[in-house]
Amino acid sequence: MKPLADCRLYTFVDTAYLHGRAPELIAQQLCDGGSDLIQLRAKTASPDDIRRLAEKLLPVTRRANVGLVINDHLEIAREIGADFCHLGQEDFFDAGHTHVSELRIADCGLRIGLSTHASAQAQRAVAAGADYIAIGPVFATGTKPTAKPVTLDYVRWAAANVIGPWFAIGGINLQTLDDVLAAGAKRICVVSAILNAPDVAQACAEFRNRLK
């Protein structure tokens, strides 16, 4: 895959938005549309089901030179050879970890992304050696309906203070994108605005073109 610093568009195969579609087909459409990273997010699936899904997606992302991110499940990410594992605050700091080096094992190139929802969390995640951080949710989002939006103020803070790759996430669509970019974001995560579109690859390409 391309260097993380060059990645701009981070998309998802989220089982809550598949609506009966094959996950590997959606992954291919996301690759065709210009995704740089694709996260497998399956909040209600069992570990065995997530492993099977990941094994279907990995050949697709490998062929397209796109990074595969496994949400939450570190062992599965290690076992299948995924590029990244994404963890929430509760999965990392609340679990007693202080640095991502604690999660790395020999001969494993797995990288770690961390969610953050406030400036203090971002500073802590960067100090912990996260390979990238997520900044959000910027706007209200059905993906995490109980999460309080961090607003564009947090995006502006990140643009001024975070050294290293970070992605704005949460409620970003083609209508809100310009405001997010104007606030200083260079990288974005998009879930429902792409997965709910009639043509996933085309929707993905529209975001890609706007990021140029």
What pTM was estimated for this model as a whole?
A: 0.96
pLDDT digits (tens, 9 = 90+) for 143-185: 777 778 999 999 999 999 999 999 999 999 999 999 999 999 9
Q: Where are the domains of the chain?
A: 4-211
Of 102 and 105, the structure prediction assigns the larger pLDDT to 102
Pick the CATH number of 4-211 from 3.40.50.80, 3.20.20.70, 1.50.10.150, 3.30.70.270: 3.20.20.70
Determine the residue type at 57. Answer: L
Average pLDDT, the chain: 94
Nearest to 138 by CA among 146, 128, 150: 150
Give the range among 44-48, 139-143, 167-171, 187-191 with minimum mean pLDDT. 139-143
Q: Given a cut of 70, is residue 106 above it in pLDDT?
A: no
Q: State residue 159's pLDDT score.
A: 98
The continuous run of DSSP H or E covering 133 comes out as strand 132-135
Alpha carbon distances (Å) from 182 to 39, 92, 156: 25, 31, 9
Bridge partners of residue 132, in order along the sequence: 113
Q: Within 10 Å of residue 28's Cβ, how many Cβ atoms?
A: 18
Is pLDDT of 2 > 60? yes
Mean pLDDT score, 34-48: 96
Tell me: pLDDT of 107 over 90: no
